[in-house]
Amino acid sequence: MSLRQQLTDILPNILPSSPKEATKGTELIRLVRLRLEGDYSDASLRYHFSIMSCDPASPIAKVEKGQGYYRRAAPVPALAGAQDLLSMTQGRLEDFAGDLGAVDHALQRIRKFRAAATRYCEVNGRFPYLFRDALTKDSPLGNLWKFPDMVVVDWEAGEPVDQGLTLDHDTFALKRGLGLPPYRLQSVTLRLLPNHERYREEFFQALSVSAWSQGGELFYAGPIEDEALADALRQLSNRFGIGITTFGLTAEMLDDLPGPEHILTAQPRETEALMERFDVRRIASPQLRDHIDWATLDSIRSDNQEVRNLFSWLMECVDAEQAMPYEDPH
């Protein structure tokens, strides 16, 4: 049996499952030698550890921006995204074998992360707009490639007022003269746990739904602790310009969060405590464009009320020269 085949059999039994308990290379060599057949040098073992950790099919993963190795988890039957549609249409429900309680549990995690991401944007002076009707369980599967989970609006200049911004009149005039909007629109795709099996699909969904906006971002609830996965996402980001941010919220941490309604209506002190639970990390920054692609936007605006509501809200803010949070009628 080759060295790689032996390591494939040995490593799952000795590697820790948590990246926080990762085994350093020297200790891993010692543990492997207790079970290994054949005389292999330390350099050969280290080489195989490194090469195998870059292979998503292997049982060994390397800690992202750290030292040590841990056991790469097998694909977990879980809901991929942050909208109910994703659980209903991407072939995930059969993973729960009819366990409606497990489905409800997973959906609750999704809703909590959606609320947490919304609140995070608000706390940081951004104005989120959530898409709901376009991403329900009865919507076409193709909507996953047309509509983001949310659009985040960043106004160019303004003075903070109660729950909003008083926009700068001179900046408005300058932007109009240049034919530029006084805001930036970024589409945001929300997903729970990144893994090797779905990261490409999730990334290109984020790219697709950002075609008309000035940039796109992919928000993951969970951390990316696998170095090979983080590098793969960075390579895609460098080529296509989608930003990637993780919030450090494991499934267990999502379970511990209060309900989504409470997250969205929390008082300042509660919100501050919630923000302290996040470990927000920017894996890659988005590449922003100056202009909205109006031709692409018109192709989806004509048959979608939520897109029309988004721009009606923006025009109300522009006319009033005051940016205010969107009031969702739901």
Asked whether residue 78 is assigned to any structural domain, the reply reads no
Region 293-315: mean pLDDT is 88
Asked if residues 234 and 283 have their Cβ atoms less than 8 Å apart, the reply is yes
pLDDT at position 65 over 70 = yes
Q: How confident is the model at residue 88 (pLDDT cuts 50, 70, 90)?
A: very low
- The residue out of 71, 94, 119 marking a domain boundary is 71
246 shares its domain with 105: yes
Q: How confident is the model at residue 309 (pLDDT cuts 50, 70, 90)?
A: very high
110 shares its domain with 65: no
pLDDT at position 192 over 60 = yes
33-55 pLDDT tens trace = 999 998 889 988 988 888 888 77
Region 182-210: mean pLDDT is 92
39 shares its domain with 164: no
Count of structural domains, the chain: 2
- The per-residue pLDDT for 329 is 66
120-154 pLDDT tens trace = 999 998 999 999 887 766 677 778 888 999 999 99
- The per-residue pLDDT for 86 is 47
pLDDT at position 7 over 90 = yes
pLDDT at position 278 over 70 = yes
6-10, 145-149, 166-170, range with the lowest pLDDT: 166-170
Cα 266 from Cα 260, distance rounded (Å): 10
- The per-residue pLDDT for 102 is 64
Question: Which of 236, 260, 181 shows the shortest CA–CA distance to 214?
Answer: 181
- The residue out of 31, 50, 71 marking a domain boundary is 71
Asked if residues 321 and 314 have their Cβ atoms less than 8 Å apart, the reply is no
Q: In whole numbers, what is the pLDDT of the chain averaged over residues?
A: 84
| Token reading at 141 | 């599967």
pLDDT at position 84 over 60 = no
- The per-residue pLDDT for 91 is 38
157 shares its domain with 250: yes
pLDDT at position 28 over 80 = yes
Region 287-291: mean pLDDT is 90
Q: How confident is the model at residue 74 (pLDDT cuts 50, 70, 90)?
A: low
pLDDT at position 201 over 60 = yes
18 shares its domain with 95: no
Domain hosting residue 12, numbered range: 3-71
151 shares its domain with 300: yes
131 shares its domain with 232: yes
Asked whether residue 46 is assigned to any structural domain, the reply reads yes
Cα 55 from Cα 170, distance rounded (Å): 54
125 shares its domain with 30: no
Ramachandran angles phi, psi of 239, nearest 5°: -85, -40
- The per-residue pLDDT for 164 is 76
Q: Point out which residues pair with 60 in neighbouring strands.
A: 71
- The per-residue pLDDT for 99 is 53
Highest-confidence segment of 63-67, 154-158, 202-206: 202-206
DSSP symbols for 77-132 = ----BSSHHHHHHSS-GGGGTT-HHHHHHHHHHHHHHHHHHHHHHHHTT-EEEE--
49 shares its domain with 97: no
Asked whether residue 77 is assigned to any structural domain, the reply reads no
Asked whether residue 79 is assigned to any structural domain, the reply reads no
| pTM to 2 decimal places | 0.74
Region 210-217: mean pLDDT is 94
150 shares its domain with 232: yes
- The per-residue pLDDT for 36 is 92
Q: How confident is the model at residue 101 (pLDDT cuts 50, 70, 90)?
A: low
Region 65-70: mean pLDDT is 84
Asked whether residue 76 is assigned to any structural domain, the reply reads no
